[in-house]
Chains A and B, each alone.
Chain A
Amino acid sequence: MSAPVEQAPVVQAQGVGFRVGEHALLDDVSLELHGGSVVALVGPNGAGKSTMLGLVSGDRTPTSGRLLVAGRAPAAWKAADLARQRSVMVQQHDVRFAFSVREIVAMGRIPHPASDRDESVVDAALADADLDALAGRDATTLSGGELARTVFARVLAQETPLVLLDEPTAALDLRHQEAVMRTSRRLADAGACVVVVLHDLTLAARYADRVAVFHGGRLVADGDPRAVITEERVAEVYGQKVCVLDHPVSGLPLVVPV
């Protein structure tokens, strides 16, 4: 891993758990995430990936263990200060009022004091999400994929050192899936810590420095994509037999169901 060792971790989790009544949604998860990396959280439905993301984002508070974001528990941050530390793209986003795409993306600037940069940051975010042509559109008329890109652009405009993306590619076509992941890669190369929940293991292997596999609320594997994404582990965790091939061009793992 290329993360500088001397830099404090952006996210620190020690024995983190989250229970709802009897049910443990997440159990004893420990990991440290650093700036400069893309970390993919993968696992079957209900494995605890989104719960983990929800804890890091501050939507929920861990029922056990210790979780720090930029050195402090999310609940201990003032909401406005936390919004300058982490941005979140949630899975469900619906727009009920007829804001334009640009107006929604510009809301990403609210956590920051108004500045001359705001316009250009919003323009750049729109361009990165391929929304130039849609900037003036009424957001209530967008397709699911267009809306997802709008929310992604808003996250970009927020310019935070920690970026949390919950299945950002779910509604996107092939080209835009790649574009979102390329942009995430670029943010990480510029120093951000990008945590992304993904279902597509091939996509995870191609863009992530590190893959964390969740299963039944536990973190069962965590490390380099090649080491983590193996035929045995995928079969065990997902209950689905797969072949892991080498990509003919890049040599990266290619996960194909049998």
Chain B
Amino acid sequence: MRTGSVRRAPLLAGVTVGGVLLLAAVVLSIGIGPIGLAPREVVAVVAHELFGAGDGGERLATTVVMDLRMPRVLFGALAGAALAASGAALQSLFNNPLADPGVIGVSGGASAGAVLAIVALPAAGASAWAVPAAAFAGGLLATGLIYALARPGRGTGTSRLLLVGIAVGAACASITGFCTFMADDDQLRDIVFWQMGSLASVDWTELAIGAVVVVAGVAVLVGMHRRLDMLTLGERQARHLGLDVTRARAVLVVVTALLTAVTVAFAGIIGFVGLVVPHIVRMAFGPAHRALIPMSALVGGLLIVLADTAARTVAPPSEVPIGLFTSALGAPFFLWLVLRERPGAGA
């Protein structure tokens, strides 16, 4: 579209189609696995267990759906929504199409926290909550540290936040590296697996926590859509248009940090979703955040559900870590996006 008018897909149609696709993917994904279930069976179990409707399914089907697959699949959808919506918001805040949830230090801090917990606590398996809790705390701590050090006030720009983020990220990486060096073989395995991301261990409690944080966080971002639009012009021009940049930045950092931290804590590091999904969505729906945030959430959720399904099925009975999948698919796709871009134009 070098000349002529930009074309935009209508938001209502996008939300409808995206919602239906996501729902379909969730139902199919719950049915896929070593014990295969038809979508009809999945729906019957869910209707019976959650809404008391119908006769439900066999006991085995019920166990597979309710205990094994549903929490992880739904959490995958939430994680994808959280990462993609955060990525879109941070790309606007940093006025940089290459920003992703990593820039505010959550992933690095969470890694350091999780790896510390794995190595320092004698038997990390003793408490299933120790590693996620340490990851969550580490993620928020790193973001808080970055924000406090950069102390973005009037006159100091977001670029300082970015630079401090790089420094704190490097410090976190060295903690992670040191712990990895100190770890024994079993711990090493846990560390590597955690860093590649997995939805396998998600249970209903974690799903509930994730649902509250993600729904609330994405709702806040949608509510900030005009402020996010203004920020794409840069902080100075956003201020000229009446945006309290300092305050908007504080809210955005807190919300995206929470969204990312809850994802990383329970599912490890799932790369590239936060970076790539907003770009795909912009191509169809344009850069205005009224459409970009909700559509990124839907597409991000869809992508993770599909990736998780693939991760579970390519080499049964073992699971390929989902982070490997999203990166393996995301990296070449992103490269293609960048290379087809007109020289000199932004993404």
Contacts and interface: CB of A to CB of B under 8 A. Distances in A.
| Most chain A CB neighbours (cut-off 10 Å) among B229, B282, B342 | B229
Interface string A229-245: 00000000000000000
B346 A96 contact: yes
Contacts of A80: 242-244
Nearest to A101: B6
Given A107-B233, A138-B6, A99 B346 contact: no
B242 A111 contact: yes
A84 B92 CA distance: 24
| Most chain A CB neighbours (cut-off 10 Å) among B233, B234, B342 | B233
Interface of A: 57-61, 75, 78-84, 86-88, 90, 93-100, 103-104, 107-108, 110-111, 135-138, 140-141, 158
Contact of A83 (B2, B6, B97, B242): B242
Contacts of B242: 79-84, 110-111
A140 B230 CA distance: 16
Give me the 4 closest cross-chain CB pairs, A-B, nearest first: A83-B242, A136-B5, A97-B287, A96-B346
B286 interface: yes
B123 interface: no
B155 A99 contact: no
Contacts of B5: 100, 135-137
A83 B241 contact: yes
Contacts of A84: 242
B234 to A, nearest CB: 8
Contacts, number: 95
Interface residues of B, number: 35
A100 B6 contact: yes
A197 B92 CA distance: 30
A79 B232 contact: no
| Most chain A CB neighbours (cut-off 10 Å) among B1, B3, B226, B237 | B237
Contacts of A158: 241
Nearest to B242: A83
Contacts of A138: 1, 6
Interface string B264-300: 0000000000000000001000111000000000000
25 contacts: A82-B242, A83-B242, A86-B240, A88-B240, A90-B240, A93-B233, A94-B234, A95-B233, A96-B347, A97-B232, A97-B282, A98-B282, A98-B287, A99-B229, A99-B232, A100-B6, A100-B286, A103-B288, A110-B230, A110-B241, A111-B241, A138-B1, A141-B2, A141-B342, A158-B241
Contacts of B236: 59, 90
B61 to A, nearest CB: 47
A93 B229 CA distance: 15
B237 A93 contact: yes
Contacts of B97: 96-97
Contact of B6 (A95, A110, A136): A136
B100 to A, nearest CB: 15
A136 B4 contact: yes
B154 interface: yes
Given A107-B233, A137-B5, A141-B345, A98 B241 contact: no
Contact of A110 (B95, B226, B286): B226
Contact of A108 (B4, B241, B244, B347): B241
Contacts of B230: 107, 110
Given A96-B346, A97-B287, A99-B288, A79 B233 contact: no
| Most chain A CB neighbours (cut-off 10 Å) among B6, B155, B240 | B240
A99 B287 contact: yes
B189 interface: no
Nearest to B8: A100
B96 interface: yes
A156 to B, nearest CB: 13
B40 interface: no
A141 B4 CA distance: 11
A144 to B, nearest CB: 11
Given A96-B97, A97-B287, A60 B155 contact: yes
B282 A137 contact: no
Contacts of B234: 93-94
A104 B92 CA distance: 15
A98 B286 contact: yes
A138 B239 CA distance: 23
